[in-house]
Amino acid sequence: MIALQAMAFLLVAAGGTAVALTRDPTRQVLVLALYGLLLSVLFVLLQAPDVALSELAVGSAALPLILLVALAKVRGREHE
Amino acid sequence: MSERGRLLLFVAGAAGFAALLLWGLAGLPAFGDYRGPYGDVINASAVAQRHLTNMASAINFDYRGFDTLGEEYILFTAVTGLALLLREIRSEIEEAPRDASPNRDASDRSDALRWFGLMLAGFTNLFGLYVVIHAHLTPGGGFQGGAILGTACLLVYLAIGYRAFRTVSPKVLMDFADATGAGGYALIGLGTLLAGGAFLQNMLPLGQTGDLLSAGTVPVINLVVGLEVSGGFILMFAEFLKETRKPSREKDA
């Protein structure tokens, strides 16, 4: 269990770094969604399944959608 | 500031931040070492006192039910504010918006994707209902279940399209769910006041621990929270998705 938790912590650290280092906003949203997935795995391994459920629904579905829509809106305005 | 100057400033700042962080980490209790007294008290007494097996729900919807009422209204206020900000202005036309993005038409999706997406939406919906209903028994509750129900409707959007999304979650119904859920929580509290107890005191029969109908008001509160959160999430999605579409005809005014 400790080894799994350590691995999840490392993956979350790598995921967070990847989000910060991704330059293109659209790709960044997808990396952020993946990062949300990694976070919810970490929460499960830390025995907080209810927090993991929230993170899964909000972090890897709702938040990316809102960001993608905002990006599409901004792009649409630039093209006009 | 030059590139070099910025880098130097960053290195100095990052080094200071890292030093402070390591200093703080060194003073933390060992990993997994729990020192708060309240968690142990709740774990020891909540099952006997409230006949439930999900301690997080015992705190959120019973012992500290009043705090959660405030939290629920955070989401309600956020969704209301969003609907107000993104509302249709009178010169805009709400009827029959056309998709402004070229590659998001329903006909572009393959049959396999549509069927798989719809199937997934069904299972997700069922799971969301399960999480809401079993709030007092297993991990999760009204908030988590409501969010999952919201993403189930989102799957319908991804699999079929905007119109199907609006058909499975009509605005009138979602408005009703959002408002009834938010108001219902406060009404349960007022009900316990009228019945002679404290605000949100758990006064319903507690039942048999582990039963679906047990733990008094906890599952009832989770039901209204699930209504509010699912309605709120779907309204939020709908407001945002509407923004990617253009009115079918611009009005002259």
Say what the pLDDT of residue B98 is: 58
Q: What is the DSSP letter of B1?
A: -
pLDDT in tens, A23-48: 999 999 999 999 999 999 999 999 88
Residue B234 predicted with pLDDT over 60:
yes
Query: What distance in Å separates the CA atoms of residue B95 and residue B98, rounded to the nearest whole number?
Result: 9
* Position B11 in a domain: no
pLDDT value of position B73: 92
pLDDT over threshold 70, residue B95 = no
B161 burial via Cβ count (<10 Å: 0-12, 13-18, 19+) = buried
Q: How far is CA B9 from CA A17, B2, B14, B107, in A?
A: 20, 11, 8, 53
Residues from chain A that touch B54, judged by Cβ atoms under 8 A, are 50
Query: Where are any strands of DSSP class E within chain B?
Result: 98-99, 245-246
Domain assignments of chain A as residue spans, ordered by start = 2-9+24-74
E strands along B1-130, which residues?
A: 98-99
CB nearest to A62's CB, from B101, B233, B243: B233
Q: Count how many domains chain B has.
A: 1
Which pLDDT band holds residue B148 (cuts at 50, 70, 90)?
A: very high
> Which of the residues A4, A45, A65 would you substitute to probe the B interface, choosing the one with the greatest number of B C-beta atoms within 10 Å?
A65
Does residue B221 sit within a domain? yes
Contact A50 B236 (CB under 8 A): no
B244 contact A CB<8A: yes
pLDDT at B249: 46
Q: What is the pLDDT of residues B113-134, one digit of tens each?
A: 889 989 999 999 999 999 999 9
Strand partners, B245: B99
pLDDT classification of B49: cutoffs 50, 70, 90: confident
Who contacts A28 (Cβ-Cβ below 8 Å, separation ≥6)?
Answer: A19, A22
The pLDDT > 70 percentage for chain B reads: 89
Of residues A75 and B100, more confidence is placed in: A75
**Residue B53 pLDDT exceeds 90:** no
pLDDT class of B33 with cuts at 50, 70, 90: confident
Is B143 in Cβ contact with A54 (below 8 Å)? yes
The length of chain A in residues reads: 80
Residue of B71, B148, B127 lying closest to A56 (CA atoms): B148
Q: Alpha-carbon distance A65 to A60, whole Å?
A: 9
Q: What is the domain extent for residue B151? A: 36-252
Interface test mutation site (partner A, options B240, B241, B243, max chain A beta carbons within 10 A):
B240
- Concatenating the DSSP letter of every residue in B60-121 gives IIIITHHHHHHHHHHHHHHHHHHHHHTPPPTTS--SSPEESSTT--GGGS-HHHHHHHHHHH
pLDDT value for B23: 94
Q: A36 to chain B: which residues are within 8 Å by CB?
A: none
Please give the structure tokens belonging to residue B51: 């006949």
Domain for residue B5, yes or no? no
Beta bridge partners of B246: B98
Q: How far apart are CA B216 and CA B52, in angstroms?
A: 9
What's residue B247's pLDDT? 55
How many Cβ atoms are within 10 Å of B175's Cβ, its own excluded? Answer: 14
DSSP state of B188: H
Instruction: Find the distance separating the first CA and the last CA of chain B, reported in whole Å.
Output: 48
- CB contacts of B240 in chain A (<8 Å) are 65-66, 69-70
Residue count of chain B: 253
Specify if B14 maps to a domain.
no
**C-alpha torsion sign, points B215, B217, B222, B227:** positive
Q: Residues A65-70: what's their mean pLDDT?
A: 88
pLDDT of residue B52: 86
In this predicted structure, the answer to whether residue B11 has a pLDDT above a threshold of 90 is yes
Give the C-alpha separation, A16 to A23, whole Å.
Answer: 13
Residue B98's DSSP bridge partners are B246
A57 touches chain B (CB under 8 A): yes
Average pLDDT over residues A5-23: 93
Q: What is the pLDDT of residues A44-64, one digit of tens each?
A: 999 889 899 989 888 888 899
Whole-angstrom distance, CA of residue B103 vs CA of residue B99:
9
Residue B253 confidence class, pLDDT cut points 50, 70, 90: very low
Residue B102's CB is within 10 A of a number of other CB atoms, namely: 7
Q: Is the pLDDT of residue B252 over 50?
A: no
Residue-wise pLDDT for B169-196, tens only, equals 888 888 899 999 989 998 998 888 888 8
For B237, the closest of A50, A58, A65 (CB atoms) is A65
ipTM (interface predicted TM): 0.84
* Whether residue B211 has pLDDT greater than 70: yes
Let me know if residue B12 belongs to a domain: no
Alpha-carbon distances, residue A17 vs A10, A22, A32, B96 (angstroms):
11, 9, 10, 43
Higher pLDDT, B48 or A20: A20
Whether pLDDT at B88 is above 80? no
Asked if residue B1 belongs to a domain, the reply is: no
- Asked whether the beta carbons of residue A72 and residue B131 sit closer than 8 angstroms, the reply is no
- Report the alpha-carbon distance of residue A22 to residue B117 in Å, rounded: 29
| Pairwise CB contact (< 8 Å): A76 & B244 | yes
- Confidence band (pLDDT; 50, 70, 90) for B104? low
